[in-house]
């Protein structure tokens, strides 16, 4: 029997990689995209296959209309897409005061326009009851003095996702937003020991989140137990931010 298919953008590492593993365990074949992380992506594909699942990694720059267009006609589209996780993104620490319009355009092109572009390229291949999860950020709600462009892109992404949820709900599709707090990914890789301790002390649960914490929530949002949830922004941050 053919297994359902999950498409995960930015699936080569971090939250994306953990999500690919979790959804594979949930019974999905995984089509993942990467831009620069080819080796981790291929290693992940091998790991999933060794575990009895199937996966394929494709190189897609989500800010490039041509590459996104090719994704839309990829042979795996013939299987239909049951789950779409829009996870790719870029984060450059730029203060609101120092941010240029070029900085903003670049970040919006990847994080916001890239996600919308992927959706438009593959929407005709989604199953009638497809589940879509958009990976946003707490910063898309609270803002950030040192990530103004990133915060703006994630805010736009969240409002687009909630708008989309209202439009495609009558078709049977669901769209939700995951808004992580501190997560142990490449974004925090440059933290000093002192900075990491400061972050942990800010969080009521006294730890930084793991990619697996995020993946388990995505698993819930794409599974049957969340069948009446759409248009929601789910904050997963250990109590760091309570909107």
Contact 86, 123 (CB under 8 A): no
Distances (CA, A) of 69 to 7, 90, 120, 205: 15, 20, 9, 42
Q: What is d(CA 118, CA 152) in angstroms, rounded to the nearest whole number?
A: 19
User: CA nearest 87: which of 178, 26, 195, 159?
Assistant: 178
Q: What is d(CA 16, CA 30) in angstroms, rounded to the nearest whole number?
A: 11
Active-site option among 34, 91, 150, 182: 150
Catalytic, 241? Answer no
User: CA nearest 210: which of 235, 236, 232, 192?
Assistant: 236
Catalytic site residues? Answer: 150
């Amino acid at each position: 029997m053919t297994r359902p298919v999950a498409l995960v953008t930015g699936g080569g590492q971090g939250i994306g990689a953990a999500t690919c593993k979790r959804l594979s365990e949930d019974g999905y074949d995984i089509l993942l995209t990467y831009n620069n992380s080819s080796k981790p992506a291929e290693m992940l594909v091998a790991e999933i296959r060794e575990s009895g699942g199937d996966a394929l990694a494709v190189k897609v720059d989500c800010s490039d209309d041509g590459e996104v267009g090719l994704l839309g006609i990829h042979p795996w589209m013939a299987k239909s897409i049951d789950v779409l996780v829009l996870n790719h993104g870029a984060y450059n620490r730029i203060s609101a005061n120092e941010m240029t319009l070029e900085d903003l355009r670049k970040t919006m092109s990847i994080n916001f326009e890239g996600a919308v572009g992927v959706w438009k390229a593959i929407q005709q291949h989604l199953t009638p009851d497809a589940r879509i999860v958009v990976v946003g950020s707490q910063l898309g709600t609270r803002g950030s003095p040192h990530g103004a462009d990133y915060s703006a892109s994630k805010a736009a992404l969240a409002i687009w996702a909630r708008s989309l949820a209202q439009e495609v709900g009558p078709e049977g599709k669901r769209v939700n937003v995951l808004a992580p707090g501190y997560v142990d990914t490449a974004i925090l890789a440059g933290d000093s020991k002192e900075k990491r301790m400061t972050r942990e002390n800010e969080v009521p649960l006294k730890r930084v989140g793991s990619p697996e914490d995020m993946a388990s929530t995505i698993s819930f949002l794409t599974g049957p137990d969340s069948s009446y949830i759409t248009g929601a922004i789910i904050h997963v941050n250990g109590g760091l931010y309570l909107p």
